[in-house]
Chain A
Amino acid sequence: MRAADVIYYTFHVQELRSIVQWKIWHHPVHERDPEKEPVSLRVCFDLLDQTSRSFSAVIQELHPELLVPIALFYLILRGLDTIEDDMTLPIEKKDALLRDFHTINEKEGWSFTGSGPDEKDRELLVQFHYVTEEYRKIKPVYREFINDITRKMGAGMADYCNKAAKGNAGVETIEEYDEYCFYVAGLVGQGLTQLFVESGLANAALKDRPQLQKSMGLFLQKTNIIRDVREDWDDKRRFWPREIWSKYVDNFEDLFTPANQEAALNCSSEMVLNSLNHADECLFYLAGLKEQSVFNFAAIPQAMAIATLALVFRNPDIFKKNVKMTKGAACQTMLDSTQNLSKVCEVFRKFVRQIHKKNTPKDPNFLKISIACGKVEQFIESIFPSQNPQALVRQEAPETEEQKKEREEAKWDIIYMLMIVMGTLFVLSFIMIGIAWLVGARFDLAFSELKDGNWRSLGKDNARKMAAKYDRGEL
């Protein structure tokens, strides 16, 4: 832990708590047992750890039925990805490798040492024969699914590489952007759905919803493309479609000039909007997953994606550096997304509202973003209604005529009561004063003394003297 982290977590104790909680309280739904695994499989899991720490952890918690197929599926696609990314390979060779990759799966002992020396997943391809060895042991039906996706994705990547080799490096239209994301991510959604449904761990209806499967992949891919804009551009790659950025700047590199910050932010907003429009379908998809480990496996990346989307929304830093979620925020999101659908919906609502809060009318897509946020909230409301339709009539009814009359009566009762009390007091006082007067009380003297300011009692003798003073003539 760096000093900066110590300071950060001192002021963000909540996030620190999330990290601790995740470490202590998160128990894998299923645990693999390395003791019983053959060497080749153990190597595969080591390779998985090397290629992706975050994915590796969730994959290794998967239900035993899908543990190995999905781990291998991931490694195979990662192998494909490594070839696609490798800038040292000549295009003819790359094209052939990508298009034939699905047959490689079936070949015994295939490995590839031709990757460039800087390729970070070079080792995976060098040891790929372990992957193919394990691959041939899994159920034929799973192999069929994995092979089908590998073939399609390889072909899609090859097309894209050929285009890039001819100098058309960037994505032009939004349609092309969707297509690219479909090849690299949407297809994975399809393949995984087939595996989930075939194993009986997901609702079979998901198989007939290609749009939902596609959205699962596109939401993740598009969000990463927004976050990585700077890194990709430094690697001379551009995935943001011209159709979007050309509305804001003339040249793509202008996005990175501080003078164009406002235009760049508006451009990134449209990219976020484009991604956010998939969010409700991702929740819809997650509703079809029955088994906890499969749910976690699918929900964690989605929750991370919505959190990332909120982080990059109108964030000028994305054009300067690689923006990353803090570890605490990531742990909190993972904690919240590994329970149930309702919790994941809460996560989505939370981050959608963060986006809404940062949204500003100076953004040309202001209202569209508000609509996209509303769409997610409305979808959540539709699967978890917070209101009972009968609620409006079950409330306490407004006053009826009868109740009104009663209330009026009660009011007058009080008034009458007060009148009676006051009246009684008045009558009694009158009687008492009257009796006093009859027996000779001198109110006239009392009044004039009070007028002179003599408020104190005079005593018997003084009173007699005073009376004499006033009534002298009579004596």
Chain B
Amino acid sequence: MASEDRPPLKSLGSVLVVGGCGFLGSHIVRQLLDSYSCDISVLDLRTTTNRYPNVSYHEGNITSLDSLRPIFSAVKPTVIIHTASPAFTSGNAKLHQGKARSLFHSVNVTGTSNLLACASETPSVQAFIYTSSSSVIHDSVSPLCNANESYPVLTSPFQPEYYAETKALAESLVLSHNRHPSSPHLLTASIRPAGIFGEGDLQLIAGMMKALAKRQTAFQLGPNTNLFDFTYIRRHAAPCRLDHERADGQAFFVTNAQPVYFWDFARAVWAAAGDPVSRSCPAGIWTINETLGLAIAGLLEWIMWVFTAGTKQPSMTRGVVKYSCMTRYFDTGKAKSVLGYTPVWGLDEGVARTVRWWKEKEQGKVEPGLGEKAIENDEGEMRSEGEKVAAVVVET
């Protein structure tokens, strides 16, 4: 297993994790602490949660260049891992327009562009890893069957989600800075994760737990033949190498490389949480086919619209129906062959650990992660969203 062929701790110099107090960022910080010898610095909007000893924390706003420069000159990073991003919200809601749009743009595009500007000016920087999203190639309607990096990145008008569009814009900025003549010292790469969950996650697992609390687990939308990719956040000592010759300037899909049937994953989570309905499956499950599901969801949306004047949406929307009937999995062959990526924790172990964490949180034993704060505060709290790349070794 992992511990046997663990490579000797490799020095990475000074690593700056942007968004390192968030869900993903903090997991990366821990892995850097566990498996690498390096000086770790974290840049985040607020640095009160998910703190580790022996890490230097810097409060700063990536949307402001002036706030970044002093941090860069103090940290003198060799590697930058950029995981900061606002929490994803779907496109159809009213709240998505205006404020949310400008937030997505300012954090994802302006923020990334500012970080790249600082990285170009700082000669110590050798590598810049961006946490993109698998949704950059997805129109949120079509199936993705074993999609790989040859799939085109979607922008307007093919990309209906503004969030994904800003991630795509940021990614192209990052990749275009690779070995740019103005800063040949800077190598860049982008990681596109899919369906991240784990301890500290308050999106994917939270949604499923909400359905469980509402006793919605006896319903299944569609025939459950749709494979779906998820990614457990924790990794141990399986270094991804940003090799000079092959990896720089490129994007990689990263998942657990274990696509499963969508409802199987949900039921595994519910069953781990002790739901008797899920445990008895396939007995006692009501299957609603997609067309009927869409019709019901459409009706609910319409009723809700009438009674709340368009300010609220039902929990079962047409988007949710489509999503749960959708095939969405990726070919991670490129990350495996080029980066030497291997998922260490199986999906089943990930589910067990995450549900255990969730239960402890519910009983008040552990502190909630930063994610909760991000949901409560839509003022632009940075929240990491991204991949499980543990660390990046710069081969020089």
Verify that A and B bind, or say they do not.
yes
Interface residues of A, Cβ cutoff 8 Å to B: 353, 356-362, 366-368, 370-371, 373-375, 377-378, 381-382, 385-387, 389-393, 395, 397-400
Nearest 9 CB-CB pairs, A to B? A361-B271, A367-B348, A370-B264, A370-B260, A381-B146, A374-B259, A367-B268, A371-B258, A398-B157
Which residue of chain B has the shortest Cβ distance to A361 in the bound complex? B271
A-B contact pairs, 12 of them (CB 8 A): A356-B225, A359-B264, A371-B346, A374-B260, A377-B227, A378-B329, A386-B145, A389-B151, A391-B142, A392-B154, A393-B158, A398-B160
Q: How far is the CA of A368 from the CA of B256 in the complex (A)?
A: 13
Q: Is B38 an interface residue (CB 8 A)?
A: no
B152 touches A390 (CB 8 A): yes
A389 touches B282 (CB 8 A): no
A374 touches B160 (CB 8 A): no
Instruction: Select which of A361, A389, A393 is within 8 A of B267 by beta carbon.
Output: A361
Q: How far is the CA of A387 from the CA of B281 in the complex (A)?
A: 32
Residues on A with beta carbons closer than 8 Å to the beta carbon of B270:
361
Which residue of chain B has the shortest Cβ distance to A366 in the bound complex? B268
Q: How far is the CA of A338 from the CA of B329 in the complex (A)?
A: 30
Q: How far is the CA of A393 from the CA of B136 in the complex (A)?
A: 12
Q: Is B40 an interface residue (CB 8 A)?
A: no
B151 touches A378 (CB 8 A): no
Residues on A with beta carbons closer than 8 Å to the beta carbon of B258:
371, 374-375
Residues on A with beta carbons closer than 8 Å to the beta carbon of B154:
392-393
A400 touches B348 (CB 8 A): no
CB distance from B217 to the nearest CB of A (A): 10
Residues on B with beta carbons closer than 8 Å to the beta carbon of A356:
224-225, 261, 264
Q: How far is the CA of A385 from the CA of B145 in the complex (A)?
A: 8
A361 touches B157 (CB 8 A): no
CB neighbors of A among B263-306 (8 A): 264-265, 267-268, 270-271, 278-282
Which residue of chain B has the shortest Cβ distance to A364 in the bound complex? B348
Which residue of chain B has the shortest Cβ distance to A401 in the bound complex? B157
Which residue of chain B has the shortest Cβ distance to A400 in the bound complex? B157
Q: How large is the interface on B (under 10, 10 to 19, 20 to 34, 35 or more residues)?
A: 35 or more
Known A382-B146, A392-B152: A368·B346 in contact at CB below 8 Å: yes
Q: How far is the CA of A359 from the CA of B225 in the complex (A)?
A: 13
A371 touches B227 (CB 8 A): no
Residues on A with beta carbons closer than 8 Å to the beta carbon of B268:
361, 366-367, 370
Which residue of chain B has the shortest Cβ distance to A386 in the bound complex? B145
Q: A357-B282, A387-B144 are in contact. List 19 more A-B contacts (CB 8 A).
A: A353-B225, A360-B282, A361-B271, A366-B268, A367-B348, A370-B268, A371-B258, A371-B260, A373-B261, A375-B258, A378-B259, A381-B145, A385-B145, A387-B143, A389-B147, A389-B148, A390-B152, A392-B154, A398-B160
Q: Is B347 an interface residue (CB 8 A)?
A: yes
Q: How far is the CA of A170 from the CA of B354 in the complex (A)?
A: 38
B279 touches A361 (CB 8 A): yes
Q: Is B331 an interface residue (CB 8 A)?
A: yes
B147 touches A366 (CB 8 A): no
Residues on B with beta carbons closer than 8 Å to the beta carbon of A393:
152, 154, 158
CB distance from A310 to the nearest CB of B (A): 15
Instruction: Select which of B152, B160, B329 is within 8 A of A389 by beta carbon.
Output: B152
Which residue of chain A has the shortest Cβ distance to B145 in the bound complex? A387
Q: How far is the CA of A379 from the CA of B160 in the complex (A)?
A: 30
Q: How far is the CA of A391 from the CA of B145 in the complex (A)?
A: 11
Q: How far is the CA of A443 from the CA of B126 in the complex (A)?
A: 95
Q: How far is the CA of A357 from the CA of B348 in the complex (A)?
A: 18
Residues on A with beta carbons closer than 8 Å to the beta carbon of B346:
368, 371
Known A373-B261, A389-B152, A400-B157: A367·B347 in contact at CB below 8 Å: yes
Q: How far is the CA of A5 from the CA of B98 in the complex (A)?
A: 70
CB distance from B337 to the nearest CB of A (A): 14
Residues on A with beta carbons closer than 8 Å to the beta carbon of B390:
none
CB distance from A384 to the nearest CB of B (A): 10
Which residue of chain A has the shortest Cβ distance to B282 in the bound complex? A360
Q: How far is the CA of A333 from the CA of B265 in the complex (A)?
A: 30
CB distance from A269 to the nearest CB of B (A): 13
Q: How far is the CA of A359 from the CA of B260 in the complex (A)?
A: 12
Q: How far is the CA of A398 from the CA of B157 in the complex (A)?
A: 6
Residues on A with beta carbons closer than 8 Å to the beta carbon of B351:
367
A382 touches B331 (CB 8 A): yes
Which residue of chain B has the shortest Cβ distance to A398 in the bound complex? B157
CB neighbors of A among B124-181 (8 A): 137-139, 142-148, 150-152, 154, 157-158, 160
Residues on A with beta carbons closer than 8 Å to the beta carbon of B137:
392
CB distance from B32 to the nearest CB of A (A): 29
Residues on A with beta carbons closer than 8 Å to the beta carbon of B267:
361, 366
Known A361-B271, A381-B145, A392-B137: A398·B158 in contact at CB below 8 Å: yes
A367 touches B264 (CB 8 A): yes
Known A360-B281, A361-B281, A387-B145: A367·B261 in contact at CB below 8 Å: no
A392 touches B158 (CB 8 A): yes
Residues on A with beta carbons closer than 8 Å to the beta carbon of B271:
361-362, 366
A395 touches B142 (CB 8 A): yes
Q: How far is the CA of A362 from the CA of B275 in the complex (A)?
A: 10
Residues on B with beta carbons closer than 8 Å to the beta carbon of A382:
146, 331
CB distance from A60 to the nearest CB of B (A): 39
Residues on B with beta carbons closer than 8 Å to the beta carbon of A377:
227, 259
Q: How far is the CA of A386 from the CA of B226 in the complex (A)?
A: 14
Residues on B with beta carbons closer than 8 Å to the beta carbon of A385:
145-146
Residues on B with beta carbons closer than 8 Å to the beta carbon of A392:
137-139, 142, 151-152, 154, 158
Which residue of chain A has the shortest Cβ distance to B271 in the bound complex? A361
CB distance from A365 to the nearest CB of B (A): 8
Which residue of chain B has the shortest Cβ distance to A373 in the bound complex? B261
Q: How far is the CA of A357 from the CA of B287 in the complex (A)?
A: 13
